[in-house]
Amino acid sequence: MQYFPPALENLVEHFAKLPGIGRKTAQRLAFFLLSLPEEEAASFANAILGAKKSISCCPVCQNFTEGEGPCSICSSPKRDNTLICVVADPKDVVAFERSREYDGLYHVLHGVISPMNHVGPDDLHIKSLVERVASGTVQEVIMATNPDTEGEATAMYLSRLLKPFSVKVSRLAYGIPVGSHLEYADDATLMRALEGRREIL
């Protein structure tokens, strides 16, 4: 049953297709857009078209970039090009950059191996990672996929794949998060934190 004019219904349906947006929220967003001045609504539409048109994947690290050629991180002379941090998503790059501690390069897989969701190694940007490692300048590859089953499996798969190239392959440390409370830490995390304990010097 449809109570809205077709153009409004169409907009509501488009919003409802977005992840985490239900029908009620989609309605609210559509009404909000209708209430905006003409030029602001047009600016929203153009932001979508513009992003879709000008954003592409960096040919080196596969992170999102604007324009042709390698992204600003890959082409920066200040970054350590012997170090590659392998992440699943562009938003993971943002998390690392925010910490301002990492000065190596990245490689974005755009997903993790997930047989349940029919994502195999060929659906990820793995071939280009192997080519980068094979080129010879890389000395260490840090696996920074999420610490869940699929992230672990992907990290294991990649580390086996990269072994023939005699590079160091490492994994992010497990342990208790900074600022958390021990009583709320789960068993697996506590066990890993014990295993990975370091001497206080």
Residue numbers of the site for its own copies (CB under 8 A)?
1, 3-8, 10-11, 13-14, 18-21, 25, 27-34, 36, 38, 41-55, 64-66, 71, 89-91, 93-94, 97-98
CB of 51 or CB of 194, closer to its own copies? 51
Two tokens, residue 123: 């659906």
Question: Least Å distance between CB 99 and its own copies?
Answer: 11
* Min separation Cβ 153 and its own copies, Å: 22
For residues 177 and 130, give the distance between their C-alpha atoms in angstroms, rounded to a whole number.
32
Residue with Cβ nearer its own copies (51 or 188): 51
Q: Are 141 and 86 in contact (CB under 8 A)?
A: yes
How many CA atoms, within 13 angstroms, populate the side-chain half-sphere of residue 122?
1
Give kind and range of the element (H or E) at residue 55.
strand 55-57
* DSSP 8-class letter at 36: S
CB 28 within 8 A of CB 21: no
Own/partner pairs, 188-195, CB within 8 angstroms, 24+ separation: none
Of the pair 58, 83, the CB lying nearest its own copies is at 58
Name which of 54 and 75 has its Cβ closer to its own copies. Answer: 54
Rounded to a whole number of angstroms, the minimum distance from the CB of residue 78 to its own copies is 16
Q: Which residue has the tokens 């990269």?
A: 162
CB of 186 to its own copies, least distance (A): 23
Residue 104: closest CA among 123, 87, 122, 128: 87
Nearer Cβ to its own copies (95/194): 95
Both tokens of residue 156? 């294991």
Nearest to its own copies of 111, 175 (CB atom):
111
